[in-house]
Amino acid sequence: MAVAQPVVQVLLEKIFLFLETEGALVVGAREEFKAISDELESMKSFLRDADRRSETEEEVQTWVAQVRDAAYSVEDIIDEFMYRVDRHFSGGNLSGYVNQIVKFPKNVWVKHQMASKLEEIKANITGIKERHQRYHFHSEKEEGVRMRPHGESPLSAEDDVVGMEGYEKTLLDWLLQPRQRSLLSVLGMGGSGKTTIVAKVYNNKTVKKYFQCSAWVTISQKFQVENLFKRMIKEFYKAAKNLIPTDMNKMDYDDLVETIRDCLRQKRYLIVLEDVWNLDLGLWRRIKAAILPFTSNGSAILLTTRNEDVARFSFGVPKCILCIDPLPENKAWDLFCRRAFLSRHCPQQLEPTARDLVNGCRGLPLTIVVMGNLLSSKDKTELEWKKVCQNPNWELSNNPRLEWCKGILLLSYHDLTYHLKLCFQYCCVFPEDYLIKRKRLIRLWIAEGFVEKIEGKTLEEVADTYLEELVCRSMLEVVTKNHFGRAKRVRLHDLLREVGLSISKRQKFCVLCDRGGEDMDKARRLAIHKCDEKISPHFDMLKLRSLFVFDTETTMLSQSYELPKKLKFLRVLELQGIPIAILPNEIAKLFSLRYLNLRGTRIKKAPKALGKLRNLQTLDVCDTEVKELPKSVEHLQNLRNLIMYHYDLKQSDFFDFVQGTRVPFDIRKLESLQVLASIEADDDMIKQLGNMTQLRRIGITKVRSTQVQQLCVTIKNLHLLRSLFLMASDEHEVLQMDDLKCPPPNLARLTLVGKLKSVPSWFGSLNDLTFLFLKYSQLRENPLNQIHALTNLRRLTLSNAYEGTLLHFQPKWFPMLKMLRLWNLSQLNEVRIENGAMPDIEELWMSGCCKLLMLPQGIEYLCKLKELTLDAMPDQFVNRLRGEGSIDRGRIAHIPQINHYDRKSGKMHRESLS
């Protein structure tokens, strides 16, 4: 799979930009660059077809690999040249160096080395171009990808259970009816729907009510028992919304077993072990000791696997096996039509071709969904659909069913534009089943240069459409959504990830350290999934452009991280969550670095060397111990994202739950900055921010009352601002925000932490506001009287924000609201909800309202409410809900999930009142 088309296209864009911006520096080589780009441009039309044919034709595969390697060689020369220029710039001698290049080209590296290398590459590319004629290539015009508009969602995941209702009922019967079976296996090949069925049962309302404790853990192909137990403990604590034990990483096997037993003892529990790959009896005996001793009370272990030996092994306890067969023809057709046609009805002229396609999917749900999504974006013509049907790239391995599935996944990959191909492959660097944050992924794509520039849109907005399209094509799975209903965290299906990795490995796009082998040589990206994994001494670091180090299953004890040598062309360095306290000064040598993620590390001080990374776009020191940035950061002229807030979960109920970072320089010097979160306020800085009209997100902490007037002037100038976080210096400081007569027109998120004398009058003009968080506002007047006019609000939190006794939600108020959180309203004793108020609300959370003794009047009107959470509420309130015969039980019968948290003993305990 030696794919070249995406690589060549991105290189061409890089050459054009290079010649445009650095043309004066490449005297003697400009024509060579131009000739190479012309040759590559003329070959582009053949590459799409060649990429497809390279799957089955070895000669074409060789030709495509040669094009790719030539493109990488040109990129190396450009990077080497810019690195050498930077070395002179760093020495303060740039003008003299430019002079030397222009006036004395015979004596500089450009003429002797750069030009000669380019001449050699040009000759090589010319020969490659001539060879394509031997293979009789037929050019194919590349089609654009239909981008799905914002707000339009892919078809519901409910469609994915078509034809699986019988399996779901069987599992429910096994779990809920009295029985001696305590181990259940769901067996099926990759993509057969195992996880979909089990997830549907796991999230079933009756199941949630029946089992007092539950956990879902995905098993990697290579795992350690201790790390599996740690993930399981985290699941138990997260499900109960308790704080994870701080000493868990220090626990040995016996401690972990005892902790798990403490969680499960005297409870009926359900544990799902997803995707168990192999049968290591020694490992499973150790697992059994922790999770199978208490199953006589109706508890159950449910595992999914592709391995029949794993499914049939009993582990010494009674068990049942549910085998997932391919969908029958009628169910497969139904699922396909739901995905391919918005009307769910196939046009008559397409039915013969569509039937052939569905039959070719062999009843495998994953392939049916992928094929349906792929064809939903195609023109509804017989010719277009037959082109898809006739593609030969289906068989990739010895398993016939898996071959067909991978073939369809490859077909879906080949149908992507070159930008989307690169973005999809990039997701493969993350560990198996890793939850990838949308913003993180977008910033990485931009740093790599995968996002095209479109007039009128930011790079972030364009990248967002890429992610949406990958989701719509079932190339990425949405795990959680934000309050807009858009993807917040995504992950890659393991089968898709394997396909992507095989593509990436062949084309040297990316390799994983633990997979090793000759294919690591000259790879452009390297992912290390354990901190202590050793990089092969044969790995060519000069070719590396991105380095990822993840903290999964780490045994790393050192607090310093030694960067590998010869990383001078690195663009991305990902160290999130790695337990290091020192960042080496060698970081200064990474001239090309565009993305540096130190989030969640133990780093205490950011080195001055950061100021030499003049190409840096994203610097993330969030949740580290860095309290102040070095002054040298002012030199980072290309910085777009500066993320440096510190959030303390343990302080979430208190005022100082977020800390900013000090910036001892003129922030205006960062002219490209769009995201600044969060910075400690000072008088000069607040004035400086008023000139940074390009800012889209800002967070400011430690604001004093004397600074608020100037702050209002500053904010008024930030017309592009979408997200604003303001926090007073303490809970007694007043944020008198009335001077802000004209707030930013596109403001979507607003957080105010500090005392307010009244709700600012300008709130009513925030037509685009979807998120409002008021904390420690200490308002005496009812804030709902002003903020109910925010008709687009999706999420509202009032925390220590109101000192009154009544909140009255009237008809037609908050028509779009999805989540309401009422926290620590100490005087509140009554909540009224009229019929027609908050008609779309799905989640209601009440915490620390010590005088509220009963449910809100009219809660029964909230028909779409899915979850009610009660935290530190009075006993009288809770007792009115507990038990079938309780006073208010009938009023909450429509709510699927009701959580109660009790903290009286000093620890948080969760109780289900569903």
245 pLDDT exceeds 50?
A: yes
**Cα→Cα distances 160→163, 337, 361, 413, Å:** 9, 12, 15, 21
**Cα→Cα distances 814→722, 787, 791, 796, 804, Å:** 20, 9, 6, 10, 20
pLDDT of residue 155: 28
pLDDT of residue 553: 54
Do 612 and 634 touch, CB atoms closer than 8 A?
no
pLDDT of residue 285: 77
pLDDT of residue 85: 65
pLDDT of residue 709: 93
Do 556 and 579 touch, CB atoms closer than 8 A?
yes
Averaged pLDDT, 818-824:
96
290 pLDDT exceeds 60?
A: yes
Per residue in 160-192, pLDDT tens?
A: 567 788 888 999 988 887 665 578 899 887 778
pLDDT of residue 398: 41
Q: Which region among 116-130, 136-150, 862-876 has the lowest average model confidence (pLDDT)?
A: 136-150
Q: How would you class 546 by CB atoms within 10 Å of its CB: exposed for 0-12, middle for 13-18, buried for 19 or more?
A: buried
Confidence of residue 8 (pLDDT cuts 50, 70, 90): low
Q: Is 620 helix (H, G, I), strand (E, B) or coil?
A: strand
pLDDT of residue 579: 83
pLDDT of residue 388: 67
Beta-strand pair 436-437/595-597: unpaired
pLDDT of residue 133: 59
| Burial track 285-299 (b if 16+ CB lie within 10 A, e otherwise) | ebbeebbbebbeebb
pLDDT of residue 849: 94
From first CA to last CA, the distance across the chain in angstroms is 52
795 pLDDT exceeds 80?
A: yes
532 vs 275: which has the higher pLDDT: 275
DSSP 8-state code for residue 385: H
Q: Is the peptide bond before 502 cis (omega within 30 degrees of 0)?
A: no
- Most trustworthy range by pLDDT among 101-105, 645-649, 810-814: 810-814
Cα-based angle 57, 63, 67 (whole degrees, multiple of 5): 140
105 vs 604: which has the higher pLDDT: 604
Confidence of residue 537 (pLDDT cuts 50, 70, 90): low
Q: Where are the alpha helices (DSSP H) in 157-280?
A: 165-176, 194-202, 205-210, 225-239, 253-264
Interacting residues of 117 by C-beta distance below 8 A, sequence separation 6+:
73, 77
550 vs 146: which has the higher pLDDT: 550
Q: How far apart are CA 621 and CA 584, in angstroms?
A: 15
Reference 680, options 652, 656, 696; nearest CA is: 656
45 vs 454: which has the higher pLDDT: 454
Reference 805, options 825, 785, 778; nearest CA is: 825
φ, ψ of residue 631 in degrees (nearest 5) = -60, -25
Averaged pLDDT, 61-78:
74
pLDDT of residue 116: 67
Residue type, 775: K
Do 571 and 448 touch, CB atoms closer than 8 A?
yes
Q: Which region among 205-209, 519-523, 786-790, 896-900 has the lowest average model confidence (pLDDT)?
A: 519-523
63 pLDDT exceeds 60?
A: yes
**Cα→Cα distances 564→76, 480, 536, 764, 794, Å:** 19, 35, 11, 55, 46
DSSP E strands in 754-829: the ranges are 771-775, 795-799, 806-809, 819-823
| Burial track 719-744 (b if 16+ CB lie within 10 A, e otherwise) | eebbbbbbbbbeeebebbbeebeebb
Partnered with residue 728 across adjacent β-strands are 703
Residue type, 350: L
Averaged pLDDT, 248-253:
82
What's this model's pTM, rounded to 2 decimal places? 0.77
Share of the chain above pLDDT 90, in %: 35
Q: How would you class 632 by CB atoms within 10 Å of its CB: exposed for 0-12, middle for 13-18, buried for 19 or more?
A: middle
Q: Is 231 helix (H, G, I), strand (E, B) or coil?
A: helix
Confidence of residue 196 (pLDDT cuts 50, 70, 90): confident
Confidence of residue 43 (pLDDT cuts 50, 70, 90): low
595 vs 415: which has the higher pLDDT: 595
pLDDT of residue 4: 56
- Most trustworthy range by pLDDT among 6-15, 426-435, 506-515, 792-801: 792-801
Confidence of residue 518 (pLDDT cuts 50, 70, 90): very low
Do 686 and 713 touch, CB atoms closer than 8 A?
no
DSSP 8-state code for residue 691: T
Per residue in 668-706, pLDDT tens?
A: 999 999 999 989 999 999 999 999 999 999 999 999 999
Confidence of residue 105 (pLDDT cuts 50, 70, 90): very low
**Cα→Cα distances 543→2, 84, 505, 597, Å:** 17, 16, 14, 21
What are the CB-based long-range contacts (under 8 Å, 24+) for 702-707? 702/660, 702/727, 702/728, 702/729, 703/727, 703/728, 703/729, 703/733, 703/735, 703/754, 704/728, 704/729, 704/733, 705/733, 705/734, 705/735, 705/736, 707/681, 707/683
Q: Is 667 helix (H, G, I), strand (E, B) or coil?
A: helix
pLDDT of residue 565: 73
Share of the chain above pLDDT 70, in %: 76
DSSP 8-state code for residue 542: G
pLDDT of residue 785: 92
Beta-strand pair 572-574/697-703: unpaired
Maximum distance among all alpha carbons in the chain?
Answer: 94
Q: How many CB atoms lie within 10 A of CB 520?
A: 19
Per residue in 585-616, pLDDT tens?
A: 888 888 889 999 999 998 999 999 999 998 99
How many Cα neighbours within 13 Å face the side chain of 70?
Answer: 29
Averaged pLDDT, 787-799:
94
Could you tell me how many residues make up the chain? 914
838 vs 67: which has the higher pLDDT: 838
pLDDT of residue 294: 61
Confidence of residue 485 (pLDDT cuts 50, 70, 90): confident
pLDDT of residue 59: 66
Per residue in 327-383, pLDDT tens?
A: 888 888 998 898 888 778 888 888 888 888 888 777 878 778 877 877 777 777 777
What is the overall mean pLDDT for the chain?
80
Confidence of residue 44 (pLDDT cuts 50, 70, 90): low
Averaged pLDDT, 866-874:
93
Q: How many CB atoms lie within 10 A of CB 427?
A: 22
Do 336 and 354 touch, CB atoms closer than 8 A?
yes
Q: Which region among 11-20, 150-159, 389-398, 846-855 has the lowest average model confidence (pLDDT)?
A: 150-159
Do 431 and 552 touch, CB atoms closer than 8 A?
yes
Give the torsion sign (CA, 105, 109, 115, 120).
Answer: positive
Reference 81, options 58, 68, 66, 97; nearest CA is: 97
pLDDT of residue 153: 28
